[in-house]
Amino acid sequence: MFKKILVANRGEIALRIILSCKELGIKTVAVFSEADRHALHVRFADEAICIGPAKSSDSYLNIPSVISAAEVSDADAIHPGYGFLSESAYFAEVCESSRVKFVGPSSESIRLMGNKVRARREMDRLGLPVLPGSSDAIHTEKEAVASAEAIGYPVIIKAVAGGGGRGMRVVHSRGELLTALKTAQAEAASAFAVPHCYIEKFIERARHVEFQIMADEYGNVIHLGERECSIQRRHQKLIEESPSVIMSSELREAIGSSVVRAMTDIGYWNVGTLEFLVDERKNFYFMEMNTRIQVEHPVTELVTGIDLVRDQILIAAGEKLPHRQNDIHFRGHALECRINAEDPVTHKPSPGKITSWHAPGGPGVRIDTAAYAEYVIPPYYDSLIAKLIVHGFDRDEAIRRMDRALDMFVLEGVKTTIPLHRQILRNAEFRNGKIYTKFLDHLQDNRARAVEMA
C-alpha cells in the first residue's frame, strides 16, 4: 500500500481524494497555486506545497512543478482527480519514469482512448456501435465539406482531444460549416493545445448515457451500471442521475457486457467511463471515453455502495479488484446537481466571496464541496462550487429530496445555478423522464418566448 499520495488537483475533488486516503491510513500532500493558499484541500492534507501562480498553466498544469513536489515530499503516488493533468498521457509517462505511481490507467490507454477518432475506430473494431463520422481529423475545408455531406446534416464538430464541451459546434447546413469548424478548432487549440477536430452525425433528441467501469492490472473488469447525463448546457453536464429511466436490466446487461469485453480486450485498468449517445429507439452509439474519475461519480457510489476513489487507489497499489460483477447490486435512485458560480440565466461566471453559507442535510443528502462562508471563489478555474447529491427509494423520492435540499441551500454573495436547477426539477417533462441533451436549450427558449408574450 502507498505511504503517501500527492493530490494533483484542487477544490472538491482534491478533498474527496484526501477523504479516502485518510480512511486508508495514507498520508497526503496537497499542491496549490497562490490563489488557493487558503483552500480547504491545503488545510486538510498532511503536507502542502505551493507550485506556482494562479494561472493553471503555471501551477496545476505545470508538470515539472508537480513532479518536483512529489519528489520533495517523498510521495510514492500521484492522484490527478479529474480535469487538469488527469487525461495527459505524457504526464502519466513522466510519473512512470519518475517511479511515482500514477493513480489511473496506463499512459498507452490514455493515449488510445484520449484521441476520440482513434477511440471510435478501436471501439468499432471491438463491436461497439459508433455514429457515422469522419475516419480521421479534418485538416482542410474540402475534407470538412466532403465529410459533412457524406454523413448528412445536422452534424457536430468535435475536438479530437479534451472534453467538457469545448471545441464542439453543431452544424445544420453547409453555410454554417466552415465558420463553425474554424471556431471549434480555435477553441480546441486554446483549451487542449491540439486544434484538430473531427465530424460526426448529430442526433437531434439524443440522450447522453454513460457506463462506469472498473478494472485491475490482472485482467479483471466489471461495470457499475449507467448514469444519465442528458441535462446539459453547452455540452457541459448540470444534472446527472442513476439509473437511467430508459434502462431495463436486460439492456443494462447487454451494453455493460459489451463495454466489459472491449475494456478487457484493450487491457485497460483502473476506473473509466464510456459515454454513449442514445436515440429515441434506444440505440446506443459509442461517443468517447474518459480515462479518469468523473465529476458525477457520487451517483454511482450511492446506488452501488462502492467507494470509487478508494478502489482507484487500491487498484493502483497493485491489489486485485475487490468486487466481481455478481457483487454489484443497484439500490434506489441518485441525483446530482452541479452548483456552479454562474448567472442562472446568462451562464456568465460569478466569482467572488461567499457571504453566507448553509449546506443542506438530512436523510439521503450528500454534498461534496470545498467552499465555506467567507471563501473567495477565484476567477481562474472551473466555476463548480459544490455537488449536491441525493439518494432516494425511487426517482420520484430522489427528485423531491433534491428539491427540498436545494430550497435549504443558503449560498449568498455570488450568483449560482440553484434557481436553474429548481426550475428543471419542477418541470413536468423532466419529472416524467422525457429528457435529452438539448432539453435545457428548449426549456429556456420557451421561457424567453413566454416572457416576450406577457
Residues labelled catalytic: 292
C-alpha cell at 22: 485518510
CB 390 within 8 Å of CB 367:
no
**DSSP, res 270:** E
Q: Which residues pair with 275 in a beta bridge?
A: 210, 288
- Give the span between the Cα atoms of 257 and 328, in whole angstroms: 13
What residues have CB less than 8 Å from 43, skipping those under 6 apart? none
- Give the span between the Cα atoms of 130 and 97, in whole angstroms: 35
Query: What are the residue ranges of helices labelled H in 193-321?
Result: 249-266, 297-304, 308-316
Cα 373 vs. chain centroid, distance in angstroms? Answer: 26
CB 266 within 8 Å of CB 112:
yes
What residues have CB less than 8 Å from 64, skipping those under 6 apart? none
CA distances from 391 to 77, 249, 425 (A): 32, 20, 15
Radius of gyration for the chain, computed over Cα atoms and rounded to the nearest angstrom: 21
- Give the span between the Cα atoms of 389 and 405, in whole angstroms: 9
What residues have CB less than 8 Å from 175, skipping those under 6 apart? none
Beta strand 27-33 with 47-52 is parallel
Determine phi and psi for 317, rounding to 5 degrees: -80, 0
C-alpha cell at 382: 472551473
What residues have CB less than 8 Å from 2, skipping those under 6 apart? 26, 76, 77, 101, 313, 316, 317
Q: Which H/E stretch holds residue 123? A: helix 116-125
